[in-house]
Structure 1
Amino acid sequence: MGLTRARDLVAGAVAAAVLGYLLVRATYRYFPPITVWTGISLLGVAVALAGWGFYVRARVRDGEIGVGRGRLHPLAVARSVVIAKAAAWMGAVVLGWWVAVAAYVLPRRDALRVAAADSPGTVVAALCALALVAAALWLQHCCRSPEDTPPDADPATG
């Protein structure tokens, strides 16, 4: 299983943004109010993933992977990679959604009072979704074994 490529996540976010914009354009009048707290749960998940990434990275660097007391089981690392991949894709799709909402709401702030009220919450939710993607990619990076990382280029060997 390889790392999630950024270009694939961008493509997913763009597709979600295009479809989301069409949906927002047709149904915005039925939306509930978008508060600043709307997307904060994404930030909580991002913080948890980033913290787990630091923990896994420290264990991998110290060689504490394996079976035994106080060690991180290899299956736990594999499961972390799967969770990170899923979180990266979900974050990209949700980011696309919030970008679509922002693309609809921000230009209409002067004309629609509701759009002006929804703008801060939309921007915060999009930033929290971006933080989720970044944290998920960080966790994936931290789960790499030392053998997976490319060695530094040795200037003596050319």
Structure 2
Amino acid sequence: MKLRPTRVLDLVANVLLAAVVAWIGTRLAYSSFPPISIYAGASLYPVAAIEAVLGFMIRARVNDHRIGDGPHQLHPITAARAVALAKASAQVGSLAAGVWLGFLCWVFPQRDTLRAASADAPGAIVGMAAGFVLVAAALWLEYCCRAPEDPTDNAATT
């Protein structure tokens, strides 16, 4: 089975499905939720930063043709693990963004009538943005792990 790039349409479907489920859950149980702080969704930012830096490091080694099992080379298994991390992170980020979006879709219209809703909205915005930032970093990492194209060997064919 061939590993294919993550499809953006699948990530959009994750966001929408998670948003609908979160909106329903928030609508039914908002009164029992604890207060949402600004830091509630911020935990995804460090993961996104690490993946973005990892993407730049892998891309540099691929561009310099430093792939192999020697010192200062990118081992192919490491690249495969980075792709697995990127694919999983894209899914997690899209689901997290969807959950925060669904929560925000219920909280934001209520912010004028409920004091708690106005206090929870900034944390939901930070969380939703963190989910989308993680998706972007994961897609970047996945892109950086692509195998370089093999140049055609014109000398051998002439």
When the two structures are superposed, what TM-score results if normalisation uses the length of structure 1? 0.92
Are 1:33 and 2:35 matched, yes or no? yes
Could you tell me which residue of structure 2 aligns to residue 43 of structure 1?
A: 45
Aligned-pair identity in percent equals: 48
Are 1:126 and 2:128 matched, yes or no? yes
Could you tell me which residue of structure 2 aligns to residue 156 of structure 1?
A: none
Could you tell me which residue of structure 1 aligns to residue 58 of structure 2?
A: 56
Q: Give 1:17's aligned amino acid.
A: A
Q: Give 2:97's aligned amino acid.
A: L
Q: Give 1:26's aligned amino acid.
A: L
| Number of aligned positions between the proteins | 149
Are 1:87 and 2:89 matched, yes or no? yes
CA shift, 1:35, in A, is 0.9
Q: Distance in 2 between matches of 1:60 and 1:145?
A: 8
Residue deviations 1:24-44, cap 9 Å, x none?
A: 111111111111111111111
The aligned runs of 1:1-158 (5 Å cut-off) are 1-147=3-149
RMSD, aligned α-carbons = 1.2
CA shift, 1:122, in A, is 0.6
Q: Secondary structure at the match of 1:23?
A: helix
Q: Distance in 2 between matches of 1:32 and 1:111?
A: 18
Residue deviations 1:44-69, cap 9 Å, x none?
A: 11001101001000011001111111
What are structure 1's unaligned runs of at least 5 residues? 152-158
Q: Give 1:90's aligned amino acid.
A: V
Task: List structure 1 runs of 4+ shifted beyond 4 angstroms.
Answer: none
What are structure 2's unaligned runs of at least 5 residues? 152-158
Q: Distance in 1 between matches of 2:61 and 2:9?
A: 29
